[in-house]
Each structure stands twice: as structure tokens, then as C-alpha cells.
Amino acid sequence: MSRIYDPTSKNIQKAAELLRAGALVAMPTETVYGLACDAANSEAVARLYAAKDRPQFNPLIAHICDLETAKHEGVFNQGALGLAHQVWPGPLTLVTPLAPTHTVCDLARAGLSSIALRVPAHPVARALLTAFGGPLVAPSANPSGQISPTSAAHVAKDMGDKVDFILDGGACEIGLESTIISCLSDTPQILRYGAYQAPDIFFAEQDKRKPDAPGALSRHYAPKATLRLNAAYPEGKEAYLGFGPALIHSTLNLSEAGNLNEAAANLFHMLRRLDETWPAIAVAPIPKTGLGLAINDRLTRAATRESISHD
Ligand code: AMP
Ligand code: MG
């Protein structure tokens, strides 16, 4: 049974320690309660997707303690800097190009070369980020498709023993997700409307030109190589991305033990590595259960080169 803890400095240190060991910790933010884990630890991120029962790998928001630290993860243009100075700490997420010094893992970014960053305002989230000392991904602490939690009791009820530790910061002030603004080009563009109300003049033109469904803007990582799925063996000039005990030679293997968690953690960086040198990739069958659903979803989209929408 999951336990709820008061945000004393001792409990915050304990939560930071657990996060360093790869645990899932629920933390209050001013928007909603987030299910946090070490953004640099792909095994922990895979557990987080599994705990939320997400059938897709959507890129996650990396929560950071301050702008200076955020600059290690993303490249801030003038627009991004202006918005960060104006709103952070606060309910605004900025999407920027990935910085060469980034630590956030491929799986947390769903393989993208951009990154979503936010400095939250809630004192408990800030204390935890400072104690932890690195970025935390923290999507809403509820199973996929359910309502976002705004109290520690909601989290305990919704996530049960899938969450290792819950920090109780009282009821969330805002109760609405952060606004997401892309700063990938010189003109910032709203990807999701949320708790921060962006000035109209700034964004009105784009919005008229391109009415976007919330969060549906970003394209996902698509390999240059062609992908063939459910392949029993490679043909011609194909690399083979295996899964499970190697009966035939795999160029790379997502998980020799046939562990879906390990396969999810390896998926994006292995695809990237193969894509660097091979024109075509054949992928072994992956079971369509648990995290296997998200892995198959991502592979299918990569094979058909579709963009995907987010929840
Ligand atoms: P949440 O579900 O509140 O954790 O928000 C995550 C959302 O952030 C995703 O569903 C995307 O819409 C958005 N997001 C995260 N990373 C990126 C990115 N690199 N580019 C565009 N949108 C992103
Ligand atoms: Mg949510």
C-alpha cells in the first residue's frame, strides 16, 4: 500500500534518495500532482510509463529547479529566455532544441531532439528538485485516460502501490496542466493551452493560421531507415533489432531476457544507433501486452512515418 508523507526536510531527502535509486515519487506541483522519476534513468522512465499504463510513449516534461540548470538541457533563444524570465517558476512549459550537455534520456523525450522544460513554483516540488539535483520527469500521477490528481489522497487512490512514496503538499492551487509553448523557431508557438495565459498579440497570428489540437504539434522521432516489423529474421541489407533469447544473430537486442521494461528503456537509443549506419531495420516480434503495447505503437508509427498526438 502506498504511503503519504508530510513534506518535512527529512522526507524530502528520503524522496530524493529513492529517486536516485530509480523509484517513482508523487510530488505536488502548482498545476497537478506529478508522478516523478529520474529523467536521466531510462529504466525508471520505462517503469513510469508502465505505472501510468500509457499505450503510447509521449514525450514527458522535464522539471528543473532553475533556469540556469535548464540551460544544460535545452538551448534557449531570445523568445525562450524572455518567457522563462517572465513566468518561471510557474505553470509554463517551454519546448527547446536539446542542448549537447543534456542528461534527460531518449525514452523520456520519445527520441525527439527537442525537450520540454518547466521550472515549477510549488515549494515542495522545488525543494525536491533541489535535493535531487537533476531533472525529474513528472506527468500527472494518474493512470492514462483518467483525471489528473490534485491531492495526495487522489494519487494514493489512483496509483495504489505503483507509486513508491507520496509527498503531501496539500491541494494543488491551479489544478490545470501547464501551458506548453514551443520555442524551436524565432516565433514562439502555443502547443497546449493551460494554466499560463499567454498574451494574445504574441500568438494570435499563428493560432489563426494553424489551429492545433492540444499537444498534437510535435512530430515524433522517425528513423531515416525503413522499418519492417514482426520480422523473424533479417533480409538483404537489413539490420536486425532482436527481442528475447537470440535464436538468430541480432545486430542489437532490445532485451535478451525478453523483458519489456528493458526493451522500452533501450528502444529509442538502439533505433538511433542502427539508423546511423543501416538503410533498413527488421524488428523482431514484440508481445502486445503491458509496455509492449507502447513499443509496438511507436514502432508502427515509425514504420509508417506518421506523427502522433498526445494526451
Ligand atoms: P503532460 O502529459 O502534462 O506531462 O505533458 C506532456 C506533453 O508535453 C506531451 O504530451 C507533449 O504534448 C508535450 N511535449 C513534451 N515534450 C515535447 C517536445 N519535445 N515537443 C513538443 N511537445 C512536447
Ligand atoms: Mg494528465
Give Cα 169 distance to the centre of its chain. Answer: 23
The pTM assigned to this predicted structure is 0.86
Task: Give 13-59 as a DSSP string.
Answer: HHHHHHHHTT--EEEE-SSSEEEEEETT-HHHHHHHHHHHT-SS---
Structural domains of the chain, ranges and CATH numbers in brackets: 4-203 (3.90.870.10), 226-303 (no CATH)
CA distance 295 to 289: 10
Joined grid coordinates for residue 34:
506529478
Candidates 260, 268, 263, 299; CA nearest to 112 is 268
Joined grid coordinates for residue 171:
491541494
Kind of pairing between the strands at 114-118 and 92-97? antiparallel
Question: Of 29, 30, 60, which is best to mutate to test ligand 1, by the most ligand atoms within 8 angstroms of its C-beta?
Answer: 60
Candidates 235, 236, 237, 228; CA nearest to 302 is 228
**CB within 8 Å of 52: residues ≥ 6 apart:** 35, 139, 142, 143, 144
Residue carrying C-alpha cell 537486442 = 253
Per-residue pLDDT of the chain (311 residues; tens, 9 = 90+): 558 999 999 999 999 999 999 999 999 999 999 999 999 999 999 999 999 988 788 899 999 999 999 999 999 999 999 999 999 999 999 999 999 999 999 999 999 999 999 999 999 999 999 999 999 999 999 998 888 898 999 999 999 999 999 999 999 888 788 999 999 999 899 888 888 987 764 554 455 444 343 334 345 667 889 999 999 999 999 999 999 997 788 999 999 999 999 999 899 889 989 999 999 999 999 999 988 988 998 898 888 865 444 44
Helix, strand or coil, per DSSP, at residue 74: strand
What's the pLDDT at 217? 38
Question: Of 33, 35, 56, 58, which is best to mutate to test ligand 1, by the most ligand atoms within 8 angstroms of its C-beta?
Answer: 58
What's the pLDDT at 177? 86
CB 270 within 8 A of CB 263: no
CA distance 5 to 15: 10
Ligand 1 site residues, Cβ closer than 6 angstroms: 58-61, 95, 109, 112, 114-116, 139-140, 177, 180, 191-192, 215, 218, 310
Whole-number Å distance, alpha carbon 60 to ligand 1 midpoint, is 5
Joined grid coordinates for residue 41:
534513468
Q: Which ligand is closest to the CA of 98, given by its number?
A: 1
What's the pLDDT at 220? 62
What's the pLDDT at 194? 82
Cis upstream peptide for 89 (omega within 30°): yes
